[in-house]
Every structure is written in C-alpha cells, then in structure tokens.
Structure 1
C-alpha cells in the first residue's frame, strides 16, 4: 500500500489556506457574478440578474414606446425593457432628435447590440500604413481577452438655438453646448445633471469610449438659458467598431494657397509619399476626391458652436465644396501640383466677399467609402479649421491649372474690365501661359546647341545636366513672367509696387501725396511698370504689388545651366532687391514667390496627437502581450 507523502507543518498551513481561499472565491463568484472593468468605467456596475431583459419583436411591432421610437435591425428589433422614455440604440444606427432648452432625453445601448456582430467598414482610401492597421487588430484581440467590449458613443449637434440678445462680443451669438451623461448602472438608467459621467460637448461634438459588458445608458441635456430661443437638433450613435462621428480638432490637413477678392484656393496635405511609377500613387490620382470643405465668414460666429460637427456645419455653413446634398457646390479635384509633386486634393472656393476673413473646415462625408445608417464611421469627420483672407482690390485674379506653367497657382495681375472674374479667367490664363511657353521655346533652341549627350569629360558639369537646366529654367521663367499679385493697399514690407503711374481699372489714379509715395517711385522703371511688358500692353492691370520671385530660383538657374547660355543674377544692392525676394523663416509667410508655395505648408512637423496615441497604444499592447 502506498501512502500519500507526509506534509510539513508549513506545507499543511499553505494547503489549508489555499483550499479555503478557493472555496471563498467559488462562493463569491456564485453569489455575485462580478464583471471586471477597466479603470475608465467610473460608474459602479450592477450585475444583471434578469437575462430576459430584452424582447425580440417582429418587424411589424416597431413602435415600442408609443412615441415612434424604434431601432430596426435586419429582421427584428432589440429594445430594452428599460424605464419609460429610454430609447434604444443599435450598432452604427444614428438617431436624430430635437431637444428643448432645459430638457433631458435618455438612450440605452443594450447588451445584445454590444455582444452582436460588428459592421462593415468597406475598402477605404488607398493606404500604405499597414502598421497602424495591424496595431488596431492586435489591440482588438487584446480587448476580447478582457471582460468587455469597446463601445463608442458619439454625438453631433446639427442645429442650435438662436440668440435673442443684441449685445456685442463674439460669445453672445454662440449658444451653450449640449451635455451628454453616461451610466453603466441599472440603478441609474436615466443619467443627467447630477448623475452619471459628464461628457463635455465641444463645438457640437463629443465622444465617450468605454469597455462595457452590459447596457450603456446615455442622457442628453439642453442647458437652461434665457439668451437663446429655439431648439437643438442632434444626432447620437453608438458603435462597437469605431466612433460613428469623427472629429480631429487638433489635426490640420488643409492649407491656404492664395485668393483674390471673391475666391480662394485650398489644398490638403500630401496623401502618400509613393513615387509616380508606383501603383499607390496612381490610385490616389485616379480617386474620386474623398474630402469636402465648408467655408464660413468669421463674422458668423455662431458656427463655432458646431465647428466640430459634420451635420452642424452642413446645416450652418453657406459655402461648400464636394459635400453631397449641399446645394451650392464648388470645385474639388485630385492634383499633384505643389512641393514634392505628390497627390493631394485641391478646392477652388468661390462666392466669397472681398476684404473678409474666413474659416475653412476640411470634412469627410462618411468614411470615404460610404456614409449613413449601418456604416462604420458613417457620420463623417471634421478636421481643425484654418483661417484665410480674401483680397480687397479687383486687379488680382486667382489662377491655376495652366497647361505649360502647370505649377502656377496664385493670384496674378488682371484687368476685370478686360477679363471678367466669372467668365474671363480661362482667356487670361491662356494669355499668360502661351507667352511663357513661347519664351521657353526660344530657350529650348539655344539649349539644343549644347552637347548634352556626350562623354563625361566633355560635359559642362559633372553635377548638373541639360535636364537640370531645362527644369530650372522653366521654374524661373514661369515665376518671373507670371508674377504673384497682391493688393496695392497691402503694407507687407516684402511687396514690390508695380505700375504706379498707370490708372486703375476704374480710371482713377494714385498720387504721391495720396498714399505718401515718393515721386521717384512714380518715375522709376521698376515701380512704374510690370516686369513683363506683355502685362502692361495686353492686360493693363493698373497699380498693384508683386510678391517677388525667390532669389534662389535665379541662383539655381545659373548653377544648373552651362555658362555659354549667359545666365547671371543681379548683385545685392545693385538690382537684386528690385527683382527678387528672400524666403521667410516663418512658415506662415510667403515673402517671395516660388511654384508650389502655400501658407503654413512647409513648417516644422510635429507629432500629431493621433500619432502620439498610436505610440502609447503600441507600448500598452506590448506590455499586455508580455502578461499573457
């Protein structure tokens, strides 16, 4: 007979303690059925004892609360048997409501929807960033191992009350924000002021994320105010896939290129760093433009109350480009013009007022593949707003998409009487472009006399070749023959007055005493004419100011071309300052003209909050993986 080994006193005490602990744990699990939660879940969880909490009804039984509130799914509706007035949300199924001042409305995202299947995202935009996708998949798998599923609750304010006061100040016209409240407890199915987690709505947008194992209860409140009248209208959605509505208030993806007195040209960041011979590059260039833009005059300060809300901007802004369902549309298209020659989207926005400051809001309708009910991310996304300003005078015209000087995209001298702002711009563009193309042809004849395809010992340079010369000459030629125009009334110190002795398009003229201009400037050739005689002869814009070409364009031309062509740049303090300007260290200033220039485009890059979040998530993921 074999006897069990005899335990030492210490081992006996340990075994007894272990058995007792296991028994207590089993009793605790049996009695309480606890749900483990992440620290972000601040409300105490009350375990659900009634597992028949929800009714599954046929499609015909849709009006479950008697007030028209229902939630459709494929062949049935899941609705909480919750307190009266608590309406149910389904996954990626936005609901729209009006809410009065001082009113609170209640919603629930039920467990059946939380535990249900996710939605379909669609193919999305062309992408080379597989690391972020893999990271999201890893984190999703880690969350599944925890006790809960990530839930996203989002809200967009679509309409706001209007001000009933006449006081001054921008804040007088911005209504107070809605408030959202969240509860994870069955004891608090109607969270609101004084209960639940408070979620601040900023610019008409709020997002709440939580790992949930049971119902998520939501309250939406309209603040009490006597300075505004009317209602709010909002759209609320819940998702287990991703936020249905998106907002990136700290991420700028839109840049101001230039304007005239009624239009502006805006562009996005580069969409890819792929080379022109790569498939991804061509996919972006062939893509239907995915982004849209809203523009609003900064005098209309009420729009700041919905600056982060897609539906709010759609209902409030008066000017838009590439936004489905918006009546007045402007032009949007993909382009590779600009620094680096990479794909990006550009917007030509018209209908603007002269001498006015505007906000520009980059948006995406849905998730770029689809939008609306049932679509992951179908509520649209809004990026950080930018500021831009229109010109005052009418003798500068915004011009882009030329055939030969294809990189030109800025305002050029014009005469509105000869080239109407609404119909004459193609003729104006053709005049500038054909003049530059003809001058380039003369240069090309000369370049053909240079032995380009020869032995290295016979070449004019081992660092540059004829292709470099042709490129540098075209860059320089387009910049000097198509000057960048600015308002004559502008006082920026880097601007060069032109055509001072000529009359404006309306027939009026300037005088030395009128604008405190030295009489010598009215007589000097550099300030009494344009740098391109064609402008004075064929366009006759009158007085304007020029953003001088950057002097490095001239230096690059001299360095890239053979000496036999005779190119030379003027010397400093001996004509250089009258013909060329210097680049500013401030990335927000275009102090000299170069092709592809855009405001705030070439500044020092910083890691965006989203990138920082991905780094943090990656570290978090690695730590968790080491624990399993």
Structure 2
C-alpha cells in the first residue's frame, strides 16, 4: 500500500508531466476549460518576467495566478510564501511578476474556466504591461479623427556651426525613416458602449472584439510615418466612419501586447463643416480642422490640395525669414549658449503655421456663444466622465466672419465658423528663440494679446511668470482643447 506522502508526490509528478512548457520570449494563448491549470516556466540565468493578459472573462469569476520558483509544483492560495508568489491583475486585466527561475518554476491558474488569456515569459522585460506614453489626439470632425501613435526614434538634429549655417528649407524634407519602427495599433471605441465597458483593456481583447465593440487599426492601415516634431516619429491614422457628437476612447497597443493609458475625444456636430488639414511638410505639426473647402471630405486636405496662394505665401515668408536669420553668425559661441538659429527657425515655423491656418472649433451644444464666453465649466470636447478634471476653463474661441477670412490668402469659407485661438506661448516660443534684431514681438497679456491669442492657459498671463496657467497646456488627454498650441502629449 502506498503511503499518503507517496501519493502526493505521484500527483505532483503527474501535474508536471501534464502541464504545458512555456517558451522563453514567446506568447502562449490559452482557452481555459479546467481549473487549476499549470505551466512549466523556462529556466534562465537572468530574472524572467511572467506576464498575463485576459482576452475575455466571466463576470462571475475572478481568475488568480500563482508562480513558484522552488519546490512547490502546484502553487496555490495556501502556498504563498518564500518561493510562491501571486501574480495580481491590474485594472487593465493584465499583470506581470519578475522572478529568478534557474532550475524549475511553475505558473498555476485558478478560476479561469471558460476564459481566454495570454501568458508570456521574457528575460527582456514584461511582454504585457501598461506603457507610460500616450497616443495623440490631433483633431476630429463630425465623423473623422486624426490620431497619432506615441513618439519613437527621435531624429538626430545637428546644430548649425561655423562656417556652415545651413538651415532646413522652408518646404522641408524629412530625414530617412527609422529602419525598424515599432508596430502600433489603435483601438477606438464608443466610451459608453456596454460591451466596451466590460472589455479587458488588453491587446488580445481588443483584437478579439474589433468587429463588434470597436475598431482596431494596425500600422499597416495608417497613413504612414510622420515626423510632426522633435519628439520622434509617429504612426498617423486618418479615420472615417465615426458617429457625430459621440464620446470615444482610444488605446494604443505596441507590438500587440503593451497597452497605453487611454485618451478621449468627442466628434463634433453634423453641422461642423471644416475638414481636417494634415500632411504638410512645411508645417509638420499642423493636423486639425481648418476653414477650407474640400471636394472629398473623406480624405481631408493635404499639401497638394491647399490653395496655392496660401502655400506660396507661407513658404516665401519662411524662406525670406531664414535668409535674414542666417545673416547672423548662428553658432552657439556667438548666437546663444542655449539656443541656435535652428531653434529660432523651428519656433518661427510653428508660430507662422498656426497663425496662418486658423483652427476650427465649435461651442458646446449646451451653451450659446455668449454663455460659453463666460462659463468656467464648459470644454470644447468635454467628456463628462468621472476621471475628467472637475474644473474645465472655457476655451479661447472666437466667431469668424466667412466673408472676411482671418488669413487673406485663404479663400472665403462657405459660412461663418468658430476658431480656437493660438496659445500665446506659441508666440513667446519664437520671441525667446530668435535674436532681437529680427524685430519679432508678441502682444502683451495685459493689453491686446487676448484679441488674437489664448492668454493664461499655459502660463499665468503675467509678464515674467512662466507656468501655472489655468490648464498648463493647450490640450490634454481628456480631449479638451483650450488654445491652439502645446499639449501634454
């Protein structure tokens, strides 16, 4: 007769033989039918990260994951101790745990019957994790949105030095694209959708629900790579088919498993007529709705579709400015210990593009134009969610007469529209980076600046005081746009 301890050893040996061997740096997708499930962990001389992401779950069950890197062959809730650890899931329904597995290790899964999940073991960081960076909401219309992935591969920019003070051309060309950019996907879903609200916030859940809950857009479905600023290259998506006046939530997924925190936006009303302008090499940071006619709104407006009077005047002005700027010795030894002529040109380009091409907006449907001008709780794209900041200042909006374009090089628009004014800091950026002899000056906050710029949103609006404005940025991840300029992402 076998002793009880012998029976236990045989049972543990059977579990080791019956479980699945996980492979280092490879994903394993599981549809659980029994509980518990056990998996042998690969050994490594380096610490390994065991990570899990739920692809679906049952509301009535709470799955639990236990990792052993010692003698316990079937770790569970009663075995927590020196060699047994619980891998806990976060609010995204993913989690990871780093352990040393030199001889043997086991992952045990409980209460996951009728669920599917991914598990991965890596010696190069967690395969499943929440990323610190965010995707970028550029702008929306009634049924479109322009989105960007988080930045990657910052460009190498060399400061001009003696005797070569060559600066980028007005109609600039981008440096070579990065040879192996990371793959990104965007998952877009209506925020209040009941199916979306119960969905795990993981890459595999997004992939599995893309047909009936939201929309998953891979890098191959994007408009390609775009270098909109010095932060780095981004994937760019121009998305059609959205519902007017609807709140949307967006997640970016890197390499199918790593998920960013969400950002939010709202589509505008069906009456909103401005198309999105993007893809301008002479104004790479421009990507928003502008008062321009467009024969095919589904494609937006790109550089080749802009009026030649606007394009030629902007490029000519930037060219002349660059020629005048390079009459000065641009090296750090003579120009400035902090900035160079290249910084001046970049800041001036940003200012010129933003003030030359007005950004369309619209007042919220709950307030009239006059009420919105004094309200302190209205936002242009407010979500009304519990996570949104409690105080949402009124954006810097101004009604524009269609027969008197803000820029005379633009053709008259079909009807009056509302513009969101540039942030005053866009002007300050050029003023700080450029030499005084150019004569570039910004209006003062206490006098006329409020007629042409959004004042007090990024900075306080007081002379000499930097930071501490009402919002600290022109835009935020909640979809609020207070003035046209620097955002938080």
Q: TM-score, normalised by structure 1?
A: 0.54
The correspondence for 1:99, drawn from 22, 29, 32, is 32
Residues 436, 477 of structure 1: 8 Å contact kept = no
For structure 2, list consecutive stretches of 5 or more residues without a partner in the other structure. Answer: 160-173, 366-371, 373-378, 380-393, 459-468, 476-481
| Contact 1:488/1:544 (<8 A) preserved | no
Cα distance in 2 for partners of 1:336, 1:351 equals: 26
Given the alignment of the two structures, is residue 430 of structure 1 paired with residue 320 of structure 2, yes or no? no
Residue 51 (structure 2) aligns with? 154
Indicate conservation of the 8 Å contact 1:548/1:593, yes or no.
yes
Q: How far apart, in 2, do the equivalents of 1:447 and 1:209 lie?
A: 53
Contact 1:204 1:308 in 2 (8 A): yes
SS in structure 2 at match of 1:425: coil
Residue 396 of structure 2 corresponds to which residue in structure 1?
495
Whether the 8 Å contact between 2:61 and 2:111 is mirrored in structure 1 is no
**Which residue is equivalent to 1:319?**
215
Report if aligned partners of 2:89, 2:95 keep a CA contact under 8 Å in 1.
yes
Match of 1:255 in 2: 136
How does 1:16-415 map onto structure 2 within 5 Å? 81-83=13-15, 86-92=18-24, 94-99=27-32, 103-109=34-40, 113-114=42-43, 150-161=47-58, 176-182=61-67, 189=74, 191=75, 198-202=86-90, 203-212=92-101, 213-222=103-112, 231-237=114-120, 239=121, 241-242=123-124, 245-248=127-130, 251-272=132-153, 275-276=156-157, 285-303=178-196, 307-317=200-210, 318-322=214-218, 330-331=221-222, 333-338=224-229, 340=230, 342-365=232-255, 380-392=257-269, 393-415=271-293
| Mapped contact 1:253–1:268 kept (Cα < 8 A) | yes
1:434-481 superposed Cα distances (whole Å, 9 cap, x missing partner): 514325426756987x6964899xxxx977999887666543332222
Shift of 1:192: 5.2
TM-superposed CA distance for 1:534, in Å, is 4.8
Once the two structures are superposed, residues 98-153 of structure 1 have per-residue CA deviations (whole angstroms, 9 ceiling, x without a partner) of 336xx51322316xx43xxx6xxxxxxxxxxxxxxxxxxxxx5xx6xxxxxx4543
Q: Equivalent residue for 1:57?
A: none
Distance 1:183 1:262, change over 3 A: same
Q: Indicate the SS of the match to 1:577.
A: helix
Aligned to 2:168: none
Q: CA distance change for structure 1 residues 579 and 243 in 2, over 3 Å: closer, same or farther?
A: closer
Query: Are the counterparts in 1 of residues 63 and 109 from structure 2 also a CA contact under 8 Å?
Result: no
Q: Larger % of helix: which?
A: 1
Relative to structure 1, the CA distance from residue 587 to residue 534 in structure 2 (aligned partners, 3 Å threshold; closer, same or farther) is same
How far did 1:482 drift?
Answer: 0.4
2:99 is paired with a residue whose SS is strand
- Partners in 2 of 1:342 and 1:569 — Cα distance? 29
Computing the radius of gyration over CA atoms, which structure comes out larger, 1 or 2? 1
Number of residue-to-residue matches in the alignment: 410
- Give me the whole-angstrom Cα distance separating, in 1, the residues matched to 2:129 and 2:357: 40
Which residue in the other structure is 2:361 paired with?
A: 486
Aligned equivalents of 1:400 and 1:476: distance in 2? Answer: 16
Q: Deviations over 1:237-293 (max 9, x none)?
A: 4x36356731126x2343333322333333345435562359xx9676343453222
Instruction: Give the equivalent residue in structure 2 for 1:512.
Output: none
Match of 2:297 among 387, 412, 421: 421
Q: Report if the CA contact (8 A) 1:303-1:313 is conserved.
A: no
Q: 1:261 to 1:289 in 2, by over 3 A?
A: farther
- After superposition, the Cα gap between the structure-2 partners of 1:576 and 1:264, relative to the gap in structure 1 and judged at 3 Å, is same
Instruction: Give the conservation status (yes or no) of the 8 Å contact 2:53–2:119.
Output: yes
Q: Given the superposition, is the C-alpha separation of residues 587 and 334 from structure 1 closer, same or farther in structure 2, using an over 3 Å criterion? A: farther
State whether residues 182 and 254 of structure 2, in contact with CA within 8 Å, keep that contact through their aligned partners in structure 1.
no
How far apart are 1:561 and its partner, in Å?
A: 7.4
Displacement of 1:157: 1.9
**In structure 2, what is the Cα distance between the partners aligned to 1:361 and 1:484?**
25
Task: Give the secondary-structure state (helix, strand or coil) at the position aligned to 2:205.
Answer: helix
Unaligned runs of 5+ in 1: 1-45, 54-79, 119-139, 144-149, 162-173, 224-230, 324-328, 367-379, 503-527, 602-628
What SS class does the counterpart of residue 285 from structure 1 fall into? Answer: coil
Instruction: Give the superposed CA RMSD.
Output: 4.5
Deviations 1:341-375 (A, max 9, x none): 64344444443322222222222226xxxxxxxxx
Cα distance in 2 for partners of 1:447, 1:176 equals: 65
Taking the aligned partners of 2:397 and 2:319, their CA distance within structure 1 comes to 30
Determine the C-alpha separation between the residues in 2 that align with 1:474 and 1:406: 9
Q: Distance in 2 between matches of 1:466 and 1:104?
A: 66
| Cα separation, 2, equivalents of 1:200 and 1:454 | 60
Q: Write the distance in 2 (CA, Å) between the matches of 1:283 and 1:442.
A: 27
